[in-house]
Structure 1
Amino acid sequence: ASVTVELGLSVCLSVCLLLSISLLGCLFVTETIPSTQQATKNGDTAVIIAVKRHDPATLRELVRAESDLNLQNQEGLTPLMIAARRGMADITKILLEGEHIMDIQEKGTGWSALRFSAERGYSATTEALLKAGANAHLKDKNGDTAVIIAVKRCHPATLRELVRAGSDLNLQNQEGLTPLMIAARSWRTDITNILLEGENINLDIQEKGTGRSAFHFSAETGNSATTVALLKAGANPRLKDKNGDTAVIIAVKRHDPATLRELVRAGSDLNLQNQEGLTPLMIAARRGMADITKILLEGEYINLDIQEKRIGQSALHFSAVIGDAATIEELLLAGANRHIKDKNGVTATEITEQRAQYGLESETLAMGEMMSQSAMRQLKSESKDIEGDDTSSSCKIL
């Protein structure tokens, strides 16, 4: 009796549950159906207790007796949520035979049964819920759907079930992120590939805060395999974020030759300028990245002589400003125009002369020793055109 009072359940039901006797046995002995709506002090009903005990026989009888399967305990959990949270696919299927409200959400977090299943990566339970009509588009209090959670937790099997069920893959959470964006900024290309199998996926949605797409995030992460997957799927490499940066520019800024090479091979536009008016080539030249410059120069239709809008400097100007001999050499051999003047009327060669005048000979001379004779001759010729006298000192500087 004390046990019954403590539980808050009827004597028959308490004994049945505590002694592992099925409800069918209770019915045989008492010829009555005990109240199944009573709850313990924790708010657990007989159905919830049977679920927690993983007792399919008792649970099946409770379901047949038309017990209320939607009652929540003090944690706000329904029997279906508990079964989903524990990955009990068999128990879940029994519950789904009864009258239920599939998409009840726990009050604190806004999690549904499907959300619990996705969190833990229980693919069989997820499949059962989806087949029964669970709403895959429900969002929790962070705006995360079951798909987003499966991506965040890297559960490929669960994600595949959600994709096969036709879940909306374009829904954004409160951060403005889609499942594809989240996958792209991780190192799990397999997760990205599963998403790309889905129908009607929008590859080019841009996050509201930064304006970045999945493609931008992939470039930012430096996962060249994901970058290739997105390119093959048709992602737009010309998209700009709120700074005007394309994926190519991001790869250059990160000094990521592997990702950049894939972008160049795919025929990305290498001449697009960001809000600063800088092209990828200008950024590489300004930072003295000769290896990155060389990769960019492998691209088709690259314009070596675009001028930055503010002061009109070209990539060659930028490399001259920092005195990077290796980058200067790459640009000159590729055919960069040595005669272009910036808005102050200054050429790249004149910038090297100015560096010498301000006492930078030792630095530039050291760099000049790395240059090929052909590049040095070109700059020597340019110096003669400008100064009209002996340029031996200029050759030494560069």
Structure 2
Amino acid sequence: MHYPPKNYTAKRYLQNGDDIEGAGPGGETALTCAAVAGHLAVVELLLDQGASIICTDSLGRTPLFNAVSSPVRSGCLEVVRRLLKAGSSVTVKDTMGNLPVHGAAFGGNRLVMKAVLEAGGDVMSRNGQGHTPLMIATQNGHIGLFQWLLRQGRNDVNDTCPNGMSPLFIAADYSSADMVETVIKAGGKPGSRTIDGWTPLHAATRLGNVRMIRALIQAGAEPDAPGMLDNTPLNIAGKEGQLEAARELMKAGADPLTVCSKGASPLYNAVVESNSSIAVEMLKTLERKDEEEGTVYPSRASRVGKGLFRSDRRFMTLVNGAVYGLEFKSLSKLLSMGALDPFADEGGDERAAAYIELVTPADAGLPPKDPVLKACMRRMIARRVAFTATSWLWPLVLSAGKSGGEGKANAGRRRGMAPVGVARCRPERRRHRQLELFRAFRRYCDKKEPV
């Protein structure tokens, strides 16, 4: 079937009196649309009819900018050359400070970039975010253009924008593993940092890209490099739930017990964020390390043992975190490794606090006249006068099983609430899981010596 040429249709509209400078919803004119589509014949016609080359759309972009940033390959170069020949400027910025040279980096066409540079574009110019064309090409994964720009001799592969992001960080944060490997081969430094302290390895871990992580570590990236608030890449893996990334980092020697400035370790983050698969994997790694050293659990003497017993600045231990997140797998593994008596609180009677909190829910399945509980109650009454850290338990005892809500859970953590108490203060909507925890703790407690 024969179709009329595109310029024939455009010519008919012009002959019918259509406004050549009429703009669409985004401020784009007919010349802009033809340039983006790569229709050279229509561009020629519109220019011959006096179409403006300096008109801009709602983003402040000229027809030239839209043409150079267009992903269309067919006819794109010819359109760009025609617009440049017509006098289009390469120094007009859009509303975000991008020049046509930045637009060409978005498009990724090496020949288009060359044409813009020959027309006076500056390969080292920066847009409103401080990004150079090289950085934009990296962000968009244009490997061929990235390599060509480096060969021009003016670009530094380790140059940074104002926030400290290098091309390698940009590749790890926005692009692909192929781009990361290309930047590394070009001399990108894996130890580069943003002004907030993040490294490319942190960015790759957040995405969970194992191939990126492996390439960065092989290039010399530090597995335990501290970022913002001293968070390591493994901390990020624990928070974001990136299991394979965590495995790769631990294989490279990342430590699950390295704490950040808030006192939280990667293991703690995995537990609190309810990423039980990662938490169990970390615990298995730690268990293997201690077995190699001949440590018998539970042991506060070993480094791993100290890490399991450590609490953060809110007095939350690993067991507290597992209870608060209702993470049974993590809790089971922690208890099997001896990670702290789950009934401990700060300065109070540990076993008394445990039994009182266990018996508080009326439906927890405990006998109402438990002799051990009675003994604990007597000891609690004797301590009450001194207003110890256990005094906060009385409102819970008197509440006869009513849910405490999130507010009490937070207050309890600040005062050193026992893990069972944290479970007690979970919202009603998770009541059935609370009861499972209470019963699990009771079974665990029964294995201990009576008070």
> TM-score, normalization: structure 1?
0.60
Flag structure 1 segments of 5+ consecutive residues without an equivalent: 1-51, 54-72, 96-102, 389-398
- Give the drift of 1:146: 0.9
Q: CA deviation at 1:261?
A: 1.4
Change (3 A) 1:82 1:343: closer
Matched, 1:88 2:72: no
Aligned amino acid, residue 77 of structure 2: M
Q: What's the offset of the Cα at 1:104?
A: 6.6
**1:206 Cα deviation from its structure 2 partner:** 1.8
Say yes or no: does 1:206 pair with 2:194: yes
Residue 41 of structure 1: aligned partner: none
Residue of structure 1 equivalent to 2:446: 380
Aligned length: 303
Q: Is 1:182 matched up with 2:170?
A: yes
Structure 2 equivalent of residue 172 of structure 1: 160
After superposition, residues 60-99 of structure 1 pair within 5 angstroms as 74=54, 88=77
Query: How far 1:281 moved relative to its partner?
Result: 1.9
128-137 or 151-160, which moves further after superposition?
Answer: 128-137
Partner of 2:185: 197
Counterpart pick for 2:248 among 239, 262, 276: 262
Structure 1 residues 115 and 176: alpha-carbon distance in aligned structure 2, compared to 1, 3 A threshold: same
Matched, 1:336 2:308: no
- Per-residue deviation, 1:342: 5.1
State the partner residue of 1:366.
436
Q: Deviations over 1:355-375 (max 9, x none)?
A: 41331737455357889xxx9
Q: Check whether the contact 1:264–1:298 (CA below 8 A) recurs between aligned residues.
A: no
Question: Which residue in 2 is equivalent to 1:121?
Answer: 108
Contact 1:118 1:146 in 2 (8 A): yes
Q: Is the 8 A contact 1:219 1:251 kept in 2?
A: yes
Q: What does the per-residue CA deviation read over 1:313-361, in whole Å, with 9 as the maximum and x for residues that have no partner?
A: 43134334556443222113334344995533565x7775454133173
1:244 to 2:225 alignment: no
**What is the CA distance between 1:121 and its match in structure 2?**
0.9
Equivalent-residue separation in structure 1 for 2:250 and 2:140 (angstroms): 32
Q: Distance in 2 between matches of 1:267 and 1:304?
A: 18
* CA displacement at 1:81 relative to structure 2: 8.5
Separation in 1, partners of 2:306, 2:280: 15
In structure 1, C-alpha distance between the alignment counterparts of 2:149 and 2:179, rounded to whole Å? 12
Paired residue secondary structure (2:304): coil
Q: Is 1:357 aligned to 2:379, yes or no?
A: no
Unaligned regions of 5+ residues in structure 2, if any?
A: 1-39, 42-52, 70-74, 290-302, 366-432
Whether 1:137 aligns to 2:124 is yes
Give the letter aligned to residue 117 of structure 1: A
Q: Would you say the 8 A contact 2:90–2:120 is kept in 1?
A: no
Aligned counterpart, 2:304: 303
Write the deviation string for residues 365-393 of structure 1: whole angstroms up to 9, x where unpaired.
5357889xxx956x533x32xx43xxxxx
Q: Is the 8 A contact 1:312 1:342 kept in 2?
A: no
Q: Matches of residues 264-303 of structure 1 in structure 2 within 5 Å?
A: 264-300=250-286, 303=304
SS at the partner of 1:330? helix
Normalization by structure 2: what TM-score?
0.54
Matches of 1:297 and 1:234 in 2, distance apart?
26
Contact 1:148 1:179 in 2 (8 A): yes
SS of 1:297's equivalent? Answer: helix
CA, structure 1 residues 116+198, in 2 after alignment: closer, same or farther (shift >3 Å)? same
Could you say what secondary structure the match of 1:203 adopts? coil
Shift in Å, 1:192: 1.6
